[in-house]
Every structure is written in C-alpha cells, then in structure tokens.
Amino acid sequence: MIKIAIDAMGGDYAPKEQVEGAMLAIKNIKDIELTLYGDETEIRKYLTNEERITIVQSNGVIDMGEKDPISAIRKNRESSVALALSSVRNNENDAIVSSGATQALIAGAHILVGRMKKMKRTAIAPLIPNVKGTSTIILDAGGNLEIKPEYMVQQAYFAHVYAQEVLGVKEPRLGLLNIGSEPGKGRELDKIVTKLFEENKNLNFIGNVEPKEILDPPCEIIISDGFTMNIAMKTIEGTAKGIGKMLKQEITRGFFGKIGALLSKGNLKRFKGRLAPEEIGGAMIYGLKGVVVKAQGSSKSVGFYNGIRQAALIVRSGVLSKVQAIIESDVE
C-alpha cells in the first residue's frame, strides 16, 4: 500500500474539499491509504467513509498569507502541515499532498523532510496543459528567484526522470525559456546553462524556447530560474482568464450570439476543462527526500483528488531513487 499524508487544514476551502477529495481518491485508487492531519472535529463533519482513512489530530494551521513561513513552521510543529511533513521524514508516509501556503510548505519541506543527497536546490514544477492535449513540465515556478547554472542542471535531471516515469515520455526534450530561439540569446545565466545542457549526455536539450511557445511547445520540459518562470506562468494564467471573459462577452452579445453559445455549450465546457488546473492536480516540489505535492490553494474536491492521484503515481514509479542515482553519478 502507498501511504499518503494529507494536510486537511491547508487551503482556501479546507477541510471540506480536502476530505471529499480524500474520499474520492479512496474510491478510485485501490492501493493507497490516507492519513488526514487536522482538527478531527472539523474533519468528521465531512467524512462519510473511513475506509483506508486515518485521522491524526493537529493543533494549529499555517495561514495562507503567512509572511514568515520559516518561523511559522518552527513555532508550530503541531500544525497540520508540519505533522504531515514530519510523517514523511519518519517514513510513516510515502508522500504528502497540501493545498496550504506555498512558501510555508516549501520551508517546512526543507526543515522537516530535507533535500535529497547532493541536490543543491529544490524547484516547483507544475504541469500545464498544451495544445497537443498532453502536459508540459515547467520549472522553476518560483522556488528560487536566483540560481546557479549547475543547480539548474540538477533540476533538469529531475524533470527528465519525471517525464519518463510519470508522463511516459521515452526521450523527453528539454528547452530553455528565453527571449529568442537563436543561440547566444539571453542573460549570462542563460548562456552558461545552455553550454552545460549541450555538453550533458543525460539530457536531450533542444535549445531556446520563446514564451509564445509555452502552450504549443517543441519539447516536454521548459526550464528557467524561478523569477522568470513564475512571471511567465502567471502571464499565461491571466491571459487565459482574460480570453475566457472576452469570449463569454462576445458569444452572449445579441440574439444570434446567445443561440451560438447554446449550440456550442459542450465545446466551451471542454475548452474550459482543458485549461482548468484542477484537472492536473498540483506541482511536485523537486529535490526533496520525500514526495511533496503542492495542490492549488483554491482546490475543490476533484482538484485535490488529482493531487493525491499524482502523488501515488510518483511514489509508484520510483522517481526519487532514479533521480538520486543520476545526481550521484554526475557529481562523482
């Protein structure tokens, strides 16, 4: 059985959506056991099926807007996220899924789970849908605002193995997010990391990828520093929402527009579903000793369920041990 810790109190709609997502996971995934960390009284308001589900009482919640996450984790070792992370460190659980505050989860993961041996930096690596109907790994989505080129190589290893083992891509291609597709473009960081990628036999580097290609990419992995990628990701998110609003305004304008909207209702629903982050589940935090999945803070039950499904798939595929082997051989 795969054992997964659930931060039941983290998220905008906790614990209701987390509990309902956990029950949905138990219904659909037969080889998992879940431990819900949180306020037992609140959890039981929504828990109607306890099959393969255990509750562990916690005391306290790290607020979504916490400004000093490191201090918050150290002062609140009995909080739901801290107890869940500690259970992974102590090998009581194989993974953790949380919708709580991102920086608190990252800080807690560093303190309580720890980085993988010889891994210098972690990275937030969400999956985003693309026009091909598959998903693209993008990293780092905000974990490191500044980073050394050699650390990006390690992060690329992680993404490479993840793409192979979790997404089923035999030869994943790696692209560097840059301001132009031509060689030699970008900052000094980009030029140095390009050389390292080109010289590395473990990576299938194809060169630069422009921001306009993110949703129709020539590769399965797109990498940059946390500052650049976070801006790119939020720009895509904002643009998608804006286009959705403009589309809604236009198709509901006038009688024939409303008729057209009615006839295309199914297509529009599928279009919205392809862009919905809850269909993917969450972002794995690369580089830790345990599997840590960050679900959307606004996750509803289906989104949280998909985060649990993703965590189970990562554990099942043995990603961590395979990445560790590559990193150790590369360092040596």
Q: Per-residue pLDDT tens for 97-155?
A: 999 988 889 989 999 999 988 888 899 999 988 888 888 999 998 888 889 999 999 99
- For residue 332, pLDDT beyond 60: no
Q: Read off the pLDDT of residues 198-244 as tens digits, 9 standing for 90 and up.
A: 999 889 999 999 999 999 999 999 999 999 999 998 888 788 778 77
Measured between alpha carbons, how far is residue 104 from residues 6, 98, 135 in Å? 15, 10, 27
Above 80 in pLDDT, residue 329? no
pLDDT at 307: 94
Same fold for the domain at 1-116+287-318 and the one at 120-283? yes
Give the integer Cα–Cα distance in Å for 215 and 235: 12
Average pLDDT over residues 310-315: 94
Give the pLDDT mean for 161-182. Answer: 93
Integer Cα distance of 77 and 166 in angstroms: 32
Q: What is the CATH number of domain 120-283?
A: 3.40.718.10
Architecture (CATH level 2) of domain 1-116+287-318: 3-Layer(aba) Sandwich (3.40)
Answer yes or no: pTM beyond 0.85.
yes
Higher-confidence residue: 198 or 278? 198
Is a pLDDT exceeding 60 seen at residue 55?
yes
Domain spans of the chain, in order of start:
1-116+287-318, 120-283
**Confidence class for position 279, pLDDT limits 50, 70, 90:** low
254 versus 229: the higher-pLDDT residue is 229
- Angstrom distances, CA of residue 78 to CA of 62, 177, 298: 10, 40, 23
* 261-274: average pLDDT: 62
Answer whether residue 75 shows pLDDT above 90. Answer: no
Residues 6 or more apart in contact with residue 11 via CB below 8 angstroms: 17, 18, 64, 98, 99, 100, 295, 297, 298, 299, 304
Mean pLDDT of 280-299: 88
